[in-house]
Structure 1
Amino acid sequence: MARNTEIKARVADLDALARRVAPLATAGPVDIAQDDTFFACPNGRLKLRDFGDGRGELIFYQRPDQIGPKTSFYRITATAEPDRLREVLTLAHGQTGRVVKRRTLWLVGRTRVHLDRVDGLGTFMELEVVLGDDESAEAGEREAQALMAALGIPADALIDSAYADLLRARPPR
């Protein structure tokens, strides 16, 4: 199963962060619309990502909820029918949440830097260091922490939850 090391943090000013990412980036920025639907899954998380253009991805992943670097194990399968697949998965498993966001993607070497505007939540940054098959999680953690420091992300901005969990935890309006 593919793996990465992730860090997620709240960000007050995405434009300022983008200006710090740009000189470090090897690719980007790429703007991406994402509509993620989560489904009941007893042994991890299962989400359908709809890009709004007829393309989608079904993503299964396992990741601990903890502040700071964490290793995620995942599998991704592309789909050309995200709406139909959402309907089938909803009937089979039931939806547990939905996250709509605008993501700006940068690459800094092998690390994916996501600058996210999440509907109903605010602005965030995710770092995903893609790990090699034989590579230790600690190597990814060191790389993520070094990039976090280079970008000026304070430790008290880190969060331990997925966007879907944060949305569920919001008080009702």
Structure 2
Amino acid sequence: MTDSAREIEVKYRVEDPESLLHELHARGATFSAPVRQDDQAYAANGWKYGQSKLGATFARLRTEDGRHVFCVKKPLANELACQEHETEVLRRDEMHEAILAMGFYPTVRIAKTRRTARLGPMLLCLDEVDGLGAFFEIETMIGGDRPAEQVQQELDRFARSLGVVLHRSTETYDSLVRSALAVGA
């Protein structure tokens, strides 16, 4: 990914995942088998929940099928429009210690089962997030100066065209999990 590429996404709570899958299949989307993802989220020392995420740097360490991926995200226009860099790492425990040494601290752990499909430039993700329920994400990578909000409006129009009940969320999974844990405490 180049420095100017950004990941732009929209996210929705889903009431009826099977209806959503049916509609997406009718549009040509073929979903992968479910995979389990174990994500540890990190924030830079000094950042706390309640502060703006814009311009702050966050990290994630994901394990999926024995493969570990380190990711750094920096929200630009909003929490779901980020500059992103990621790479595979060999040892999760060593990468965790390296992330701490870089000045990050662990925030929340996010466990989910994910199914994905490609439809044109869109990556479609149907997630069952432990403790939160079903979510649908639409992601795309863009370059240049195109406003993230414009891309998000286009992705939202696509989601709404599916004709299933979706509840849009502007929060990241780490914020949603943290809120759910606070309510349950």
TM (normalized to structure 2)? 0.78
**Following TM superposition, by how much is the alpha carbon of 1:135 offset from its aligned partner in structure 2, in angstroms?**
5.9
1:13 partnered with 2:16: yes
Residue deviations 1:14-53, cap 9 Å, x none?
1111111112235533422211101122522211111141
Moved over 6 A (4+): none
Could you tell me which amino acid in structure 1 is paired with residue 26 of structure 2?
A: P
Report if aligned partners of 2:10, 2:168 keep a CA contact under 8 Å in 1.
yes
1:83 partnered with 2:96: no
Partner residue, 1:151: 162
**Following TM superposition, by how much is the alpha carbon of 1:11 offset from its aligned partner in structure 2, in angstroms?**
0.3
1:49 partnered with 2:52: no
1:59 partnered with 2:59: no
TM (normalized to structure 1)? 0.83
Report if aligned partners of 1:4, 1:140 keep a CA contact under 8 Å in 2.
no
Partner residue, 2:27: 24
Report if aligned partners of 2:35, 2:65 keep a CA contact under 8 Å in 1.
no
Count of aligned pairs = 166
For 1:104 and 1:4, locate their aligned partners in 2 and report how far apart those are by CA, in whole Å.
19
For 1:30 and 1:60, locate their aligned partners in 2 and report how far apart those are by CA, in whole Å.
26
What is the aligned-residue RMSD (CA, Å)? 2.2
**Following TM superposition, by how much is the alpha carbon of 1:152 offset from its aligned partner in structure 2, in angstroms?**
2.6
Partner residue, 2:53: none
For 1:93 and 1:141, locate their aligned partners in 2 and report how far apart those are by CA, in whole Å.
29
**Following TM superposition, by how much is the alpha carbon of 1:145 offset from its aligned partner in structure 2, in angstroms?**
2.4
2:121 is aligned, of 110, 130, 152, to 110
Distance 1:52 1:147, change over 3 A: same
Partner residue, 1:120: 131
Report if aligned partners of 1:129, 1:143 keep a CA contact under 8 Å in 2.
no
For 2:71 and 2:141, locate their aligned partners in 1 and report how far apart those are by CA, in whole Å.
16
**Following TM superposition, by how much is the alpha carbon of 1:119 offset from its aligned partner in structure 2, in angstroms?**
0.4
1:140 is aligned, of 147, 151, 169, to 151
Gaps of 5+ in 1: none
Partner residue, 1:98: 109
For 1:114 and 1:120, locate their aligned partners in 2 and report how far apart those are by CA, in whole Å.
18
Report if aligned partners of 1:61, 1:72 keep a CA contact under 8 Å in 2.
yes
Gaps of 5+ in 2: 48-55
